[in-house]
Amino acid sequence: MQFAKFVITRIIAYVLVIWIGITVVFFVPRFMPSDPVESMLGRIMTRGNYMEAEQVEAMRATLTQAFGLEGTLAEQYFGFFHRTFLTRDFGPSLSLFPTPVNEVIGRALPWTLGLLLSSTVIAWIVGNAIGLLAGYRSRWLSSRALEVIAIFVYPIPYYITALILIILFIHINPIFPLFFSIRGDPPSLEFISSVIYNSILPAASIVIVGFGWWVLSMKALSSSISEEDFVYFAKLKGAGEGRIMTAYVLRNAILPQVTVLALQIGTIFNGALITEILFGYPGLGTITYNAVLQADYNLLMGTISISIIAVASSTLIIDLLYPFFDPRIRQR
Amino acid sequence: MLRLRDLRCYYDTPRGVVQAVDGVSIDIQSNEVLGIAGESGCGKSTLLKVLYDYLQPPLRIVSGAYEADFPDGAGKVKTIGPGEIRQHWWEFISYIPQGSMSVLNPVIRIENQFFDAVPRDHPLKATGKTAIRERVAAYLKELELPVEVLKSYPHQLSGGMKQRVLVALGTFLHPQIVLADEPTTALDVVVQKGILLMLIELQQQMQNTLVVVSHDMGVHYQISDRLAIMYAGKLVEYGPTDAIFRNPAHPYTQMLIQSLPRVGDRSQRVGISGRPPSLVDPPTGCRFAARCPKVMDHCAHQEPVLLQIEPEHFVSCHLYGEQAS
């Protein structure tokens, strides 16, 4: 019963977050001083195509409809929700006309999610494992050495790390390709191996930049938990070192780390932008960047809406998983 | 059962060597309840750690001897010492900790915390978790504790229940020696009494040795057969509890007992002024000299020795015995 209540409140919060996010996405472009329809028309006109007044009007009407700018603000608002959630149709992309926005996003989203989710999770696992050893076994030389490496790597800005990797492994030692090239079709082994081959460098850059923080925070957590009475008592009970490290220290230290992971997964789309542009990776970051450059409002609204929904959903999933890590939440 | 001979156990710290247990000699018999009393920082808990053979840096045995009589199961008694005693944790010697609030891991079930206390080479370990669970459940039933606690997490139990669970944990393998470190601290008096009764009943049932460390003289009066008073790492007095309460010999013991409230006595209790000396650089002579109301000239530079003042009752104070001045 308690658990059902917990799930329901989380789901209400989830719906609320998405509603607020989408509302902001709806209003922000409408507060901009420029009219997207007029600027689009202006761009078409300056290309030198001569159009009749009627043609211009027809074009204006088509564009207004494509942008979802018909009717009053309230009608537009409901129309926008209708399109986002029910028909999931954001209209055609303007820069890649006439490809629908859905198709553009649908092609890019799996790449971004695959790269960022896996590299964020790898960084989390590696960082927490090293941090646990460094915190629990602080006298070991190897755990100290790994901690020093983490301290050195952690403050380096992301783009520096990424550029160093590009220079080292693409230009000096051309182990990895400069351009993203995929061979084969989705289910085949060739396809999978070429995806992994092309993704190693961008993934490595995210892992290298990300794991340092996990090492440092996990080290602080696990070394303070190692001082807790229940760990001391576990030693008096004669529990094995491995058992103490996992069931006593890790089980307690991992709780805040799960929370931070949920928050970080929420921000992976920010990271997508720089990573994808630097490595020429065909994900959501690259198309968002291009949409901004080319004033592709439909595509922009689509990518941002998808980001909001994806972020809120991943946070919800972690939130719902959290009780399985901490019995105090499960049975409150 | 347990023999300590002039045992010195020091902590190496950056501030210097802390002489937490300094020349303690005592025999702990089987089937007795021994109380160890003294104020905070006098070495009680360290002595218990040493008895339990939990010697981790910075704590080390500097000199002296510590031996235990270990029945090896074949009817013979072996003498074992530090390093060997820990091989028989929980089946031979067990430990009931202080602080029922935080010694249980908050995120794993109570039953799993029992599994961890079964020694690796104990026959129960081989029988698997279900067998251990049944054994523990049967034992809890014997103690009239609800079996459901095994499936619970620590936060679902009250402070008193947690302490009862810890007592059950300390006794479920029927050890020869049970060490209890402040078992009733931080509990209300009603629960305290319940825990003390439980400890005593178990001791009488199993006819084993119970060593209780407490700063609370009232607790010792209720449960101890013999009482040892520690001050600044030294044993200042020990003997039968009755004898000590009837005829406290050491001025420190006298003051500890005077500080207890009595029914009907409305006078103000007098505390002991001052604080125990630093164990990094303890004073020469009698360590209590600076706070002693009966201090004499030679107390400050001559160390008193343990003297027997009546049967089984020993005290280390210059007020007794021939005065060498």
Quote the CA–CA distance of B250 and B243 in Å, as a whole number. Answer: 12
Where does B2-316 sit in CATH, by number? 3.40.50.300
**Separation in Å, CA of A12 to nearest CA in chain B:** 28
Range B153-170 average pLDDT = 89
* Contact criterion met (CB below 8 Å) for B183 and B199: yes
Tell me if A252 and B107 make a contact (CB, 8 A cut-off): yes
Question: Which residues from chain A sit within 8 angstroms of residue B89, using beta carbons?
Answer: 236-238
**How many domains in chain A?**
1
**Separation in Å, CA of A230 to nearest CA in chain B:** 4
pLDDT tens digits, one per residue of B112-130: 888 888 887 788 877 888 8
The domain of A238 spans 104-296
Structural domain includes residue A27: no
Structural domain includes residue A120: yes
pLDDT tens digits, one per residue of B225-239: 999 999 988 999 999
B116 touches chain A (CB under 8 A): yes
Give percent of chain A above pLDDT 90.
Answer: 13
* Contact criterion met (CB below 8 Å) for A3 and A330: yes
**Separation in Å, CA of B318 to nearest CA in chain A:** 39
Across chain A, the runs of DSSP E, i.e. the strands, are: none
Per-residue pLDDT band for A12 (boundaries 50, 70, 90) equals: very high
Contacts of A207 (CB under 8 A, 6+ apart): A119, A122, A123, A126
The whole-model pTM stands at 0.78
Average pLDDT, chain A: 83
Interface of A to B at Cβ within 8 Å reads: 228-230, 232-240, 243, 247-248, 251-252, 255, 325-328, 331
What local confidence, expressed as pLDDT, does residue B324 receive? Answer: 45
What local confidence, expressed as pLDDT, does residue B132 receive? Answer: 87
For chain B, state the CA radius of gyration: 21
Tokens of B41: 């920082």
Residue A186, preceding peptide bond in cis (omega within 30° of 0): no
Q: How many other C-beta atoms can be found within 10 angstroms of the C-beta atom of residue B320? A: 16
pLDDT > 60? residue A133: yes
B92 touches chain A (CB under 8 A): no
Structural domain includes residue A306: no
Number of H helices, E strands in chain A: 15, 0
Quote the CA–CA distance of A129 and A245 in Å, as a whole number. Answer: 11
Q: Tokens 């088509």 belong to which residue?
A: A62
Residue-range domain boundaries for chain B: 2-316
Quote the CA–CA distance of A178 and B188 in Å, as a whole number. Answer: 72
Structural domain includes residue A42: no
SS3 B65: strand
Pick the closest to residue A88 from A108, A64, A105, A110 (CA basis): A105
Contacts of A250 (CB under 8 A, 6+ apart): A132, A222
How many angstroms separate the Cα of B120 from the Cα of each of A174, A232, A242, A264, B97? 54, 18, 13, 41, 21
Pick the closest to residue B211 from B52, B4, B3, B34 (CA basis): B34
Quote the CA–CA distance of B115 and B125 in Å, as a whole number. Answer: 8
Pick the closest to residue B222 from B255, B260, B254, B251 (CA basis): B260
Question: Which residues from chain B sit within 8 angstroms of residue A327, using beta carbons?
Answer: 106-107, 109, 153, 155
- What values do phi and psi take at B203, rounded to 5? -65, -40
Tell me if B116 and A239 make a contact (CB, 8 A cut-off): yes
Pick the closest to residue B176 from B242, B45, B77 (CA basis): B77
Structural domain includes residue A82: no
Tell me if B116 and A243 make a contact (CB, 8 A cut-off): yes
Structural domain includes residue A98: no
Picking from B90, B103, B113, the nearest residue to A238 by CB comes out as B90
Tell me if A238 and B116 make a contact (CB, 8 A cut-off): yes
Range A95-117 average pLDDT = 83
More confident residue, B14 or B99: B14
Quote the CA–CA distance of B132 and B113 in Å, as a whole number. Answer: 11
Question: Which residues from chain B sit within 8 angstroms of residue A238, using beta carbons?
Answer: 86, 89-90, 116-117, 119-120
Tell me if A237 and B119 make a contact (CB, 8 A cut-off): no
Asked if this assembly's ipTM is beyond 0.90, the reply is: no
pLDDT tens digits, one per residue of B245-288: 999 999 999 988 888 887 787 777 777 778 888 888 888 888 99
Tell me if B116 and A233 make a contact (CB, 8 A cut-off): no
pLDDT tens digits, one per residue of B85-105: 888 888 889 999 876 568 899
Tell me if B117 and A328 make a contact (CB, 8 A cut-off): no
Tell me if B108 and A251 make a contact (CB, 8 A cut-off): yes
Pick the closest to residue A169 from A276, A287, A278 (CA basis): A278
CATH of the domain at A120: 1.10.3720.10
What local confidence, expressed as pLDDT, does residue B1 receive? Answer: 80
B120 touches chain A (CB under 8 A): yes
Tokens of A74: 């309230």
